[in-house]
Chains A and B, each alone.
Chain A
Amino acid sequence: MTPLLSVQGLTKRYGRHVGCLDVSFDLFPGEVMGIVGESGSGKSTLLNCMAGHMVPDAGRVMFDTRTEGPVDTVAMAEPARRMLGRTDWAFVHQHARDGLRMGVSAGGNVGERLMAVGARNYGAIRTAAGDWLERVEISVDRIDDRPGTFSGGMQQRLQIARNLVTGPRLVFMDEPTGGLDVSVQARLLDLLRGLVRKMGLSAVIVTHDLAVVRLLADRLMVMKDGRVVEAGLTDQVLDDPQHGYTQLLVSSVLQV
């Protein structure tokens, strides 16, 4: 089976400092990969390099495209990468404000990706937008409201709808539940889990919240100082951590 995403020896340095060092892994269709680690461990750098927001210093990111099979997205031309970015890929930012257009209505936000790939029928775009708002549990009568009038949790759900509307195959998520209170987090996680399972999405989720990966991720990578120190099945890594740092991380979680 061809992996959907194959990362090989990805390295990014910031001058003398290491962002991430020699990271390699395969992600198969329908699989969710969690990346955990403390702040500054290089997990966001890794995600941004994979998603094409940053140029890595070394390594390859092979993506299994629909038409041409596996292609190195690092070496890809910018127009092709942007096309991927609005069709097969999705990127959910930690802060919904980074991923939304705050001056545009909720419907316009969801419809933007459709229009970017050539949808030119207003009625169809609006129907799709309304449909997606419902799927992320936002009432359809808020379709013409701006995201600024939404709560934090709703903004995050709107961002997810905006990203998934074109039916991507791979979703990058950067701390999707960061900054939300626990009950809102729970609802969002529930929604994400449902969407990922229903649409058969593959996802890479970066987070420092072990509960998020426990719920969503099939496999887990633990990063420290830019390196992957432990990788394996989520339950295996969390229940029987081998590396000293992973043991520290697991035992640091407050049991209520």
Chain B
Amino acid sequence: MSDYNFAYLDEQTKRMIRRAILKGLAVPGYQVPFASREMPMPYGWGTGGVQVTAAIMVPEDRLKVIDQGADDTTNAVSIRKFFQRTAGVAVTERTAEATVIQTRHRIPEVPLTGGQILVYQVPIPEPLRFLEPSEIETRRMHALEDYGLMHVKLYEDIARHGAIATSYAYPVKVEGRYVMDPSPIPKFDNPKMEMDAIQLFGAGREQRIYALPPHTRVVSLDFEDFPFEASKADHACALCGAADSYLDEVITDDAGGRMFVCSDTDFCAGRRTGEVAA
């Protein structure tokens, strides 16, 4: 096969990461510190997600990698190749066929099922980071459930823009306890986080792992008079016609031409071939 240990990481490291994952699952939304390893890719390219995927992967797994909804962009292609080479696992682009899905910034449109695992790549795990620069202080705030500051951010949004302008990495409260950064997924995906599959979050540079067990209550923060809204571009997909999927705006020429297409490429292709029900 290859000279690498299965899935690149050595067994002791995987064991350490699995412990962090189990702790994260036991305390949903809590950021568990772990000894992040150097990976053969730059920070910001998914080093945290790759380590989590490597730690949970078994030879029977079928891996799908999503980058901003797409299966065919640089990040997705190279991570998929990385695990094909170091673990020899099967890969797929179909959401329904995959057992492990590593994702950057999207949740697939097709609902995930029990038995599947969704692994997020997280750049900055601390939702309070841009409000409170001190790590000591933010940890204390989490410990004491001192989350008034989080609403100050939303207040500032409304005061400045007339509505909650935060459109991605929208803060959520997990099981009524921890405020969590859902990684930079669009807020359109926030309601999907109450799902049947396990969700794991890995931040390599920041050395944190957190997790959501299936059916965990995930509530997006908001105000009574400015409720949370899962927004998307007000169009239908130009290729498959879906009106309820998250869309990318694609500039097609330099004369102002543009089209809106599904961000989830597998979902869009499936609808066009008739594999995914309309």
User: Known: A78-B144, A79-B144. Is A121-B159 also a contact (CB below 8 A)?
Assistant: no
Cross-interface CB contact of B152 among A101, A121, A143, A144, cutoff 8 Å: A101
Q: Interface segment, A8-16, A51-59, A102-110, A180-188?
A: A102-110
By a CB distance below 8 angstroms, the chain A residues around B223 are 120-122, 125
How many Å lie between the Cα of A113 and that of B160 in the bound state? 20
| A116-B145 contact given A104-B156, A108-B156, CB 8 Å threshold | no
Q: Chain A contacts of B225 at CB under 8 A?
A: 121-123
Which of B155, B160, B222, B226 sits near A115, CB closer than 8 Å? B155
Closest residue of B by beta carbon distance from A101: B152
* Closest partner residue, chain B, to A77 (CB atom): B144
A interface footprint on B135-165 (CB within 8 Å = 1, 0 otherwise)? 0000000001111110110011011100000
A144, B160: Cα distance in complex, Å: 7
B148 touches A116 (CB 8 A): yes
B152 pairs with A111, CB closer than 8 A: yes
Please indicate the chain A residues that have their CB under 8 angstroms from the CB of B222 in the complex. 120
A residues neighboring B (CB under 8 Å): 78-79, 82, 86, 101, 104-105, 107-108, 111-113, 115-117, 120-123, 125-126, 143-144
- Interface class of chain A by DSSP: helix
Taken together as a complex, chains A and B put the C-alpha atoms of A86 and B149 apart, in Å, by: 12
Closest to B148 in A: A116
Given A120-B223, A144-B160: A125 in contact with B148 (beta carbons within 8 A): no
Q: Is B224 an interface residue (CB 8 A)?
A: yes
* A121→B158 CA distance, assembly (Å): 12
Q: How many residues of B contact A (CB 8 A)?
A: 18
Q: How near does chain B come to A38, taking the closest CB pair, in angstroms?
A: 33
Chain B positions within 8 Å of A86 at CB level: 148
Asked whether A108 lies within 8 Å of B152 as measured between CB atoms, the reply is yes
Determine the chain A residues whose CB is within 8 A of the CB of B146 once the complex forms. 82, 116
- Residue contact B159 to A115, C-beta cutoff 8 Å: no
In the complex, the chain A residue whose C-beta lies closest to that of B159 is A144
B158 proximity list for chain A (CB < 8 A): 122
The residues of A that contact B224 with a CB separation of less than 8 Å are 120-122
Q: Which of chain B's residues has its CB closest to A118's CB? A: B148
Q: List chain A residues, Cβ under 8 A from B159.
A: 105, 107-108, 126, 143-144
* Chain A residues with CB under 8 A of B145: 79
CB proximity of B132 to chain A, nearest CB, Å: 9
- CB-defined A-B contacts under 8 Å, sample of 13: A82-B146, A104-B152, A107-B159, A108-B155, A112-B149, A115-B151, A116-B148, A120-B151, A120-B222, A122-B158, A122-B224, A122-B226, A144-B160
A79 to B: closest C-beta gap in Å: 5
Known contacts A82-B144, A104-B156, A116-B149; 11 further A-B pairs (Cβ under 8 A): A82-B146, A86-B148, A104-B152, A107-B159, A108-B155, A115-B155, A120-B224, A122-B226, A123-B225, A126-B159, A144-B160
